[in-house]
Every structure is written in C-alpha cells, then in structure tokens.
C-alpha cells in the first residue's frame, strides 16, 4: 500500500513538472508569436505578401499528414535555428529563423513539447507560391551565406539584466525586426535596426529614440501599457501590430514587457523622418477644414483624442517617413485590437468613399504637420497608389 | 422537422439591451449562453459609419434601423368593440431590429422610476384611500427600493450616465432632482453642457419656484471607461441620436458598453438572423425544454436549454409567451389570466414657442440633452383635490436641427411655397419647446393578445394591441397642459402654443417607443405573469426581461428601469436560481 502511494506521488510529481514544461513551452510560443503567422489553431494557411510573391504559412500542428507530426525534436530545432526542414529543405526567411537562432536549445525543446500537445489540424498547405525565380528554394542557400549569421544571444556587458532580457526578446524570439527593420534588395535586414519598414501595405514604425518618428516621447510605462493592452495615451494597435499584441505581447509577463521597454528606451535615435513639410500652405489650409469636418468629432480639434480614440498629436504612426499606415486607415478604416485589459477594440470607419485622393492627402499633410507633428507632406499620388493597392487586394 | 442542437445552459431570445446584460452576467457566472437574434449583426465602425450616419432621409425618414412590418406586424384597435386591423407601417412607436435592438436608436434618457412606483398601490392607497384608484389596475411591482437600487446603480455605471444626483442617501443635493428616490452614489459622469434653450428653460422654471435639473443622459459628457473596462468617447453634440446609431461611441448601447466583452467570452455564442418561432414546453406545460428558431435560409433548428430568457422588445416578449402558452391569456371581460395584462404606453403633451430675435442653434443637439422639472411628476405633488393620479416630467431638450424634420413655423403658415420657405428660415433659430413625458396607468380594457385573423410570414398570429388613453391619464395630461400653458408665459415669446391629448390613440403619428406591460412582475400569480424576479409563475425556467414587466408606466422614459430590471433578474439567477433551480417565489 505504502509503495503504491509513493508511486502515485511520484507520478503526480512528474506530471506536475511535465505540466510546468508545457506551460513554459507555451510561453515560448507567446514570445515567438507563432500564432501571428501560423493562425490561431497553428494550422497555417495564412498568406504572407512579400515583395517576392505570396508565401502561405505551413501547418505546425502535430498532424502527421499535413502538419509537422513526423518531426523529431532535432528536426524542429534545425528548422527554428538553421532554417532547414527535414530532408534538407531550406525555409524562406519569412520564417524568422535568423531571430530564433538566438534562442537557447532548452527553450526550443520546451516549445516543441508544447506543440505536441496542441490539437492536430488537418490542413494541407501549399506554402511556396512565390514568383519565379524566388520559388526555387535552393536560392536560399546563397541568401544564408550572405545574410544568415546564426549566433546565440550573449549578454552585453555593462547593461543591466532587464536591458539584456529586453535585447534578447526584441532580437530573438520576438523577432520585432521582421517588420520594423528596413530590408535590402534581397529582403534581408539592413544595418539600421528597428528604424521602420513597409510591409503588406502598412508601415511598421520606427522604434528608436527619435522624438518625431520613434518612441522618444514615450515613457517606459507607455511602452509596457501599449504592448500589454494594445493602447496607451499616444496610440492604439491595429493592422499587423494588433495581431502581434493579441497573440503575443498582451500575454507576456510584466517583467518581460518591462525588459522590452528598458531596451527600446535605450535605443539611439534614428536619422528621423526627413522633417516637416514645407511649401504646402494650400494643403494645410484645405486639410484643416477637411479635418474639422471629417475627423475632429473623434480625434478632437486639438488632435488629442480621448480615452477611446488615439491622439494624432504626437502619434508616431502619423509621423513616419512613409504615410502608408495612416493613408490606409483613412481610406479603408481599421479595427483596433481588443485585449482583456482594453476590451473595446474601437474601429476607424472607412472614409475612402467620400474623400478624393487630394482631400485625403490634404488632411494627412495637415495632421502630419500640426500640434507639434513634423513629417513630410503626403501627395495625392501616394494616396492614389495606396488606394489602387487596396482595391487590388494586396 | 427541426434539427436538434446540443443543449446549452441558457438560451436568450434577442440581443438588445436586456439580452446583452443577461448574457454578460450569466457568462460571467460560468454558464454557457447562446443568444438567438432575429436581426443582423451591427457594430459601430462598420454599420454606423460617421461618414454617412447623419443621413436623415435614410435613417429618420425611411427608418433604416427599425423593425419592418414585413418581418413582424401588429394589429391595433382602441376598444373591445372594434375589430383590430394591422398597422401597415410602424408609426406611433418604432421597435428596433438587429443586435442592440432599440438601444441602438434611442436618445439616452436614463431615468430611475421612483420608490413610490415600485410600491404604487400601497403608496397611493395610504395617501389618498382606495377609492382614488377606482378604475385603475395599479399594483405593486414586488421589489423594495433597497433591493432594486443597486441594480439601477449597475446600469448607470455600465452606461456612464451623465447627470447630477438630487438625493444622495436621503440627503437632498443642490442642482439635482429633489424628487428622485435615494441613490447610493453620484452619477458616473457630470451633466451634459446645456444649450441655450434648455438653459433658458431652467432659469424660467427656477423663477417660477420649480426645481430644474439636468436630464440624466446616456450621451457622454466626457469620455468614460465603464464598469466592464469598455471605453466611450465624449459626445460631439451632433444632433443625430434618436432614430440613428451613434458613430462616435458616445451613446450607451449594447455595442458601446457590453458587446466588446461579451462576444469574446468563450462561453457565449450569438446566432444572428435567426428568428425564434416558439418556446417548447414539456408535455405538462410546466417547464421549457427548448426554443425552435428558423435561420435566414429557412432551416428550422431546435435549441434545448436549461433556462430560456426572453429578451425581445416588450411587445415581442408578450407575443412569444402567448405563442408558447407560457402562462394564461388575460381576459379583459373577467379580469382573469395574466399574460397581456396592464399594457400601458406614455401620455405626452408639449409647448412650442417662437421668438424673433434668438439664436438657439438647434444643430447643437444630443438625444438626451436638456433640463427637466419633476415638480408635476408621479406623486411629487398633492393629488387629493385632483381627479386623477400620476403626472409627468417636463423637459426642454434640444435633440436636433436636422433639415428635413426640424422646420418650426407659426400656425397659419402655408405648407409649401415661398412663404413657407421664408417661415422655416425665420423659425430655425427662433424656436424652442418643452414637453411632458406623462405616466400611463393600467385599466382593465387595455391589454395585449393574439389577433384572431392576421398572421405573420411564418403563419403565426400577430400580436393585437387594444389600447386607448384612460380617463385618468387624459385628466392628468390636461392638467399638465394647463401647467405648460402657465410655463410659457414668462418667456414672452411672439407665439406660443400647447398641445392637448385627445382620446382615441392613433397608431400613425410618432409618439413614443415606450410600450410597457403585458408580462408584468408582481406579488400575486393571479394578477401578474412574473414574480418579483421576472420569473414566470407558470414555467419557472423562463424569465422575461424588459419593459413588458412594468406593472404601469411612470412619467419618464423606461430604459433606465429596463436596465435595472435586467440586472435584478440576472442577480436572482446567478445568486439564487442556479443553486436551486425552480420557482424563486412560492405563491
């Protein structure tokens, strides 16, 4: 009897520690934002529009036929850290293995244990829908030689534990650079990390300390609130960042969010957005009147917004070098993220049907150069280009 | 043959104000809830786009958001001797349609009925003697004030009501309504900023010795984070509230206060464009088993549930009970039966004033923006020498200056042509008015039942409304019109006129969407369909939420009390019923 009890206790103990591993692995999935690309059920099928064509994300559930149920732990580690799937198939770097390469093997193993517990989904995905010649996977060998420098994360001496944890999260599993760092001709990161980049019809903003385009006017608490809830007094997440908040940052621990804030607040300012518009008095005059009619009811004539609607004064999204995000918001509208701590998820209605290209350009030039905002003018041609991209569904 | 679905803990019919409150409260308590809604999904940015929401022709004139009679019509008559005919269009009242219900297009007046309303029979009998109530079917509602007050508080903090308390825990507060019943705390938001007409009204009423106060409003005087963490924006006073949805997240509705939280709960499911056909009872008729509904493709489903909660508009709740045989039909001849009893409406009158040299700027408006006096409401004044009971709140609100309907002119102005154009131009900045929102007390012959002749698109009998303004209410309204007459004097307007209620309720011109009663709450199962927790006396796993439960209608808008009753019933379900399912009150 006693033996039996002991055995039962041991079983309990080991299942408890197994459960803890699963939870730890699940949290690695949160940090890595797997669901952002592979879907809520991890069954894949999410189309990523890249400059080289369309990639559809694979099924990473443990389904043996259509998922990765036949992977070994080592196969998974190779895919995550070297970008190589079983059989030597090279992954495209839309899968951020250059970032995941910084993750310790133990965390990858925990994530693998977690993935094995996720309900298998039968969903066959044709991943590679890129244009020729980018559809030839062997080309990635050259890309890897040129741009892939797998290095495990190492602490920077002289920086505190929070800074180092933040640097690891931002550059490792969080793969912030995938969206926020400009890409070169080959789609690889350029040296200027996190200074903002275009993707999928949005502009992922500058995260450096620049006071106009970056987060220079945000406090560390502002960053924590934004990532944890999806909103703060300066901005509210929508578009791809809404997904990142919902699937990833809103589920991070307070200390990890704080670490990210400490690291980002220490980033030196970028070269900025090119400065305010000049010689656009007519645009500003027209923009003011159109703004008061179309925008002020929610965002306020002073551009300060309120607890629900984001301020436009001091809003970094408004002040990026490229206006893609705000043009898109005006034309097509958008839905902000809803999180347990900020459940409202307000929507911006589409105004593209009532504003001409030049009217939208005038409003945005006014908004980008008022209340302390200083950013380049928006032209009717830019609005027209984005309008046609929205119409073509890209 | 309906397709059978897996059972849920709770099946809710209708996702308007009450369905949303019940859904939120019951999912928070861990129950699995499905809401079945006849109309479409509607949300602010996608359906109430600020870019076109101010389309008066589409929304106010062509009634885009309202229930169409092709979906559900009703028949009406003024007396038992008449044959009811179907209303071919909704006019006198405009039920809502779709998610959010009538709470999408309401104005936002958010009143609390008074303690003397909940105990109306006891109160009036004690003060004036039973003979005073002679032909009226007034009866007590059930809950005491201390029981129901916290539910009012919950609804007000959900909605972010803008107002000024007049009675805080028994202490009269300057600037508030001295006649209101004691409230446990101040309103969540300060009063709205008053436009000129309302300010002027307040000044004149004060000079006359009355007690003006800002009308409690579910339009946001400032931006607000509500009790569920949902955020609302400050009202822009655009003047497109009633008949419109708010595009600015500034008017409390299910969409702006509850649904962001509710629709993300994993134990909540919503099926839109699905119409409940009936509630199915067990063979002995004592328990509800399921509801049958039909989806937009005409496919019938049967949804079983442990608890069925009717959260449709008041009139629809009553009809659903009659179609499903939940409780006995009220018979006005014998006075027996409960379902359909005490149908009431609202008894209104108004004063119109025209000046020559004002700038009222009526385009600065909001649905619930104005000053009120309650000196002639309910039992705030002595009725012992009067030939009626009841009364009316009198308010000067500035709701809109919209171009199609807001064209005030003096009597005798031609209806078209150059003179009419000049008169509407002169009148626009120079007109103001104030109106009474009068009580409507139940009489034996005003009631609801199923029409013997006319049927809906599914072959079910239509609801029949038998209603006329009772003598008591006409006397009350004439007395109020006399007061309105006196109140116009100090304004020294160039023209003033006061309307007077006539017998013979007409279903065509718009009056008010405040239909109440028919499935009333009470203490006696022979005179009420529901017990004091809004639970059917006859089928105890059915709760019926809404103004259908009002045992009479008071001289104020019903929504605040509807919201309070929703929280009150939800509390009874989560704290009492789920622990011991069955009748909560034993008759």
Counting one residue from chain A and one from chain B, the pairs whose CB atoms sit within 8 A come to 64
Inter-chain residue contact A353 with B51, CB threshold 8 Å: yes
pLDDT tens-place string over residues A366-382: 999 999 999 999 999 99
pLDDT tens-place string over residues A73-83: 999 999 999 99
Interface of A with B in 337-376 (CB under 8 A): 338, 341-351, 353-354
Inter-chain residue contact B248 with A297, CB threshold 8 Å: yes
Domain ranges of chain B: 1-161+223-344+442-467+514-587, 176-215+347-438+469-503
Give Cβ neighbours of residue B366 (< 8 Å, ≥ 6 apart): B108, B192, B217, B219, B235, B237, B238, B239, B241, B398, B399
B229 contacts in chain A (CB < 8 Å)? 341-344
Chain A: give the shortest CA distance to residue B64, in Å.
19
pLDDT for the residue A2: 52
Same domain for A68 and A207? no
Cis status of the peptide bond prior to A133, with omega within 30 of 0: yes
Interface of B with A in 240-259 (CB under 8 A): 247-249
Cross-strand pairs, B13: B36, B310
Same domain for A186 and A136? no
Inter-chain residue contact A349 with B260, CB threshold 8 Å: no
Nearest to B229 among A343, A351, A354 (CB): A343
- Nearest Cα neighbor of B95 from B510, B576, B527, B502 is B510
Same domain for A282 and A324? yes
Backbone angles phi, psi at B140, to 5 degrees: -70, 150
Chain A: give the shortest CA distance to residue B213, in Å.
27
Residue B266, chain A, CB below 8 Å: the answer is no
- Whether B109 sits among the annotated catalytic residues: the reply is no
ipTM: 0.85
pLDDT for the residue A8: 52
Same domain for A54 and A103? yes
Q: Which of A147, A179, A203 is the last residue of a domain?
A: A147
Residue B167, chain A, CB below 8 Å: the answer is no
pLDDT for the residue A150: 80
Residue B22 contacts residue B12 (beta carbons within 8 Å):
yes
Same domain for A264 and A294? yes
Residue A2 lies in a domain: no
Q: Which of A99, A123, A147 is the last residue of a domain?
A: A147
B259 contacts in chain A (CB < 8 Å)? none
Sheet holding B74-77, edge to edge: B85-86, B74-77, B461-466, B447-455
Residue A204 lies in a domain: yes
Mean pLDDT of A142-169: 88
Q: What superfamily does domain B1-161+223-344+442-467+514-587 belong to in CATH? A: FAD/NAD(P)-binding domain (3.50.50.60)
For residue A220, is pLDDT > 70?
yes
Residue A304, chain B, CB below 8 Å: the answer is no
Mean pLDDT of A293-301: 93
Stretches where chain B sits below pLDDT 70 are none
The CA angle B444-B449-B451, to the nearest 5 degrees, is 130
Q: How confident is the model at residue A6 (pLDDT cuts 50, 70, 90)?
A: low
Same domain for A286 and A382? yes
Same domain for A137 and A269? no
Q: How confident is the model at residue A5 (pLDDT cuts 50, 70, 90)?
A: low
Nearest to B51 among A308, A347, A351 (CB): A351
Number of domain units in chain A: 2
Residue in chain A nearest B259 by alpha carbon: A344
Inter-chain residue contact B51 with A341, CB threshold 8 Å: no
Inter-chain residue contact B247 with A347, CB threshold 8 Å: no
Residue A40 lies in a domain: yes
For residue A139, is pLDDT > 80?
no
Same domain for A110 and A167? no
Chain B: give the shortest CA distance to residue A40, in Å.
14
Please tell me which residue in B97, B123, B383, B514 is annotated as part of the active site.
B514
pLDDT tens-place string over residues A61-111: 999 999 999 999 999 999 999 999 898 888 888 899 999 999 999 999 999
What's the burial of B322, exposed, middle or buried (CB within 10 Å: 0-12/13-18/19+)? buried
Q: Which of A147, A180, A215 is the last residue of a domain?
A: A147
What's the burial of B575, exposed, middle or buried (CB within 10 Å: 0-12/13-18/19+)? exposed
pLDDT for the residue B460: 97
Chain B: give the shortest CA distance to residue A297, in Å.
6
Chain B: give the shortest CA distance to residue A307, in Å.
6
Residue A6 lies in a domain: no
Helix B17-28 vs helix B559-572: crossing angle, to nearest 10 = 30
For residue A302, what is the domain's CATH number?
1.10.760.10
For residue A1, is pLDDT > 50?
no
What's the burial of B460, exposed, middle or buried (CB within 10 Å: 0-12/13-18/19+)? middle
Same domain for A242 and A141? no
Structure tokens at B396: 């000067």
Residue B224, chain A, CB below 8 Å: the answer is yes
Helix H segments across B489-573? 559-572
pLDDT tens-place string over residues B271-292: 999 999 999 999 999 999 999 9
Residue B330 contacts residue B468 (beta carbons within 8 Å):
no
Residue A1 lies in a domain: no
Structure tokens at B407: 């064209």
Same domain for A84 and A194? no
Q: By residue range, what is the domain housing residue A59? A: 16-147
Residue with tokens 């955020």: B231
Nearest to A297 among B43, B49, B50 (CB): B50
């Amino acid at each position: 009897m006693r033996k039996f009890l002991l055995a039962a206790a041991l079983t309990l103990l080991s299942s408890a520690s197994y459960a803890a591993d699963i939870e730890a692995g699940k949290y690695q999935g949160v940090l890595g934002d797997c669901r952002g690309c592979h879907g809520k059920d991890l069954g894949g099928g999410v189309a990523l529009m890249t400059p080289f064509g369309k990639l559809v994300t694979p099924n990473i559930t443990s389904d043996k036929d259509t998922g990765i149920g036949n992977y070994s732990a080592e196969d998974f580690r190779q895919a995550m850290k070297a970008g190589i799937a079983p059989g030597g198939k090279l992954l495209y770097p839309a899968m951020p293995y250059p970032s995941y390469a910084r993750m310790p093997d133990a965390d990858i193993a925990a994530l693998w244990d977690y993935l094995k517990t996720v309900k298998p989904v039968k969903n066959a995905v044709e991943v590679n829908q890129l244009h020729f010649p980018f559809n030839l996977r062997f080309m990635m060998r050259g890309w890897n030689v040129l741009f892939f420098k797998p290095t495990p994360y190492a602490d920077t001496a002289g920086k505190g534990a929070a800074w180092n944890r933040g640097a690891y999260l931002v550059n490792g599993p969080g793969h912030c650079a995938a969206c926020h760092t400009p890409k070169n001709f080959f789609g690889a990161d350029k040296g200027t990390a996190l200074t903002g980049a275009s993707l999928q019809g949005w502009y992922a903003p500058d995260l450096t300390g620049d006071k106009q385009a970056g987060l220079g006017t945000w406090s560390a608490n502002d960053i924590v609130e934004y990532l944890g809830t999806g909103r703060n007094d300066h901005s509210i997440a929508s578009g791809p960042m809404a997904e990142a908040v919902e699937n990833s940052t809103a589920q991070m621990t307070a200390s990890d969010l704080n670490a990210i804030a400490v690291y980002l607040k220490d980033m030196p300012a970028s070269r900025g957005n090119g400065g305010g518009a000049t010689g656009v008095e007519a645009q500003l005059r027209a923009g003011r009147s159109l703004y008061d009619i179309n925008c002020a009811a929610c965002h306020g004539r002073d551009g300060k917004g309120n607890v629900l609607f984001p301020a436009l004064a001091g809003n970094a999204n408004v002040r990026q070098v490229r206006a893609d995000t705000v043009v898109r918001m005006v034309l097509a509208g958008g839905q902000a993220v809803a999180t347990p701590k900020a459940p409202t998820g307000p929507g911006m209605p589409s105004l593209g049907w009532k504003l001409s290209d030049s009217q939208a350009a005038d409003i945005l030039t006014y908004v980008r150069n008022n209340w302390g905002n200083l950013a380049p003018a928006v032209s009717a041609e830019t609005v027209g280009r984005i309008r046609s991209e929205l119409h073509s569904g890209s | 043959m309906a397709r059978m679905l897996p059972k849920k803990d709770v099946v809710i019919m209708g996702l308007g104000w009450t369905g949303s409150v019940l859904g939120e409260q019951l999912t928070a308590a861990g129950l699995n809830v499905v809401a079945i809604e006849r109309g479409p999904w509607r949300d602010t940015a996608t359906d109430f786009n600020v870019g076109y929401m101010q389309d008066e022709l589409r929304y106010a004139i062509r009634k885009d958001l309202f229930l169409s009679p092709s979906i559900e019509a009703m028949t009406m008559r003024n007396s038992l001797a008449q044959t009811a005919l179907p209303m071919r269009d909704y006019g006198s009242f405009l039920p809502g349609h779709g998610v959010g219900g009538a709470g999408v297009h309401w104005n936002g007046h958010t009143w609390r009925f008074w303690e003397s309303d909940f105990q109306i029979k006891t109160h009036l009998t004690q003060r004036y003697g039973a003979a005073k109530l002679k032909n009226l079917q007034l009866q007590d509602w059930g809950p005491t004030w201390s029981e129901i007050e916290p539910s009012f508080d919950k609804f007000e903090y959900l909605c972010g009501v803008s107002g000024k308390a007049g009675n805080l825990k028994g202490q009269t507060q300057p600037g508030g309504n001295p006649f209101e019943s004691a409230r446990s705390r101040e309103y969540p938001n300060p009063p709205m900023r008053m436009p000129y007409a309302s300010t002027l009204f307040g000044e004149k009423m004060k000079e006359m010795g009355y007690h003006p106060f800002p009308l409690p409003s579910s339009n946001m005087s400032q931006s607000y984070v509500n009790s569920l963490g949902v955020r609302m924006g400050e009202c822009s006073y655009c003047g497109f509230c009633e008949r419109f949805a708010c595009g600015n997240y500034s008017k409390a509705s299910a969409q702006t206060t509850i649904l962001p939280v509710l629709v993300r709960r994993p134990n909540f499911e919503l099926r839109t464009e699905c119409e409940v056909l009936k509630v199915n009872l067990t063979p002995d008729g004592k328990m509800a088993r399921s509801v049958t509904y039909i989806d937009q493709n005409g496919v019938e489903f049967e949804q079983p549930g442990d608890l069925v909660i009717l959260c449709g508009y008041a009139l629809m709740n009553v009809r659903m009970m009659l179609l499903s045989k939940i409780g006995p039909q009220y018979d006005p001849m014998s006075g027996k039966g409960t379902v359909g009893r005490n149908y009431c409406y609202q008894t209104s009158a108004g004063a119109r004033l025209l000046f020559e040299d004002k700038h009222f700027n009526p385009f600065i408006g909001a649905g619930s923006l104005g000053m009120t006096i309650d000196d002639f409401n309910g039992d705030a004044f002595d009725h012992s020498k009067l030939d009626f009971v009841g009364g009316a709140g009198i308010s000067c609100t500035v709701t809109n200056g919209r171009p199609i309907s807001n064209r005030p002119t003096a009597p005798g102005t031609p209806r078209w042509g150059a003179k009419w154009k000049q008169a509407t131009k002169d009148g626009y900045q120079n007109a103001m008015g104030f109106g009474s929102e009068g009580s409507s007390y139940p009489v034996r012959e005003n009631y609801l039942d199923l029409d013997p002749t006319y049927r809906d698109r599914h072959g079910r009998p239509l609801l029949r409304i038998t209603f006329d303004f009772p003598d008591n209410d006409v006397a009350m309204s004439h007395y109020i019109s006399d007061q309105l007459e006196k109140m116009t004097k100090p304004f020294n307007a160039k023209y003033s006129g006061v309307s007077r209620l006539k017998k013979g309720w007409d279903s065509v011109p718009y009056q008010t969407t405040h239909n109440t009663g028919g499935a009333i709450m009470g203490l006696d199962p022979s005179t009420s369909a529901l017990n004091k927790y809004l639970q059917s006396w006859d089928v105890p796993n059915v709760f019926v939420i809404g103004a259908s439960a009002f045992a009479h209608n008071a001289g104020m808008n019903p929504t605040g009390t509807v919201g309070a009753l929703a929280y009150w019933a939800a509390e009874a379900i989560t704290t009492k019923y789920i622990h011991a399912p069955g009748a909560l009150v034993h008759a």
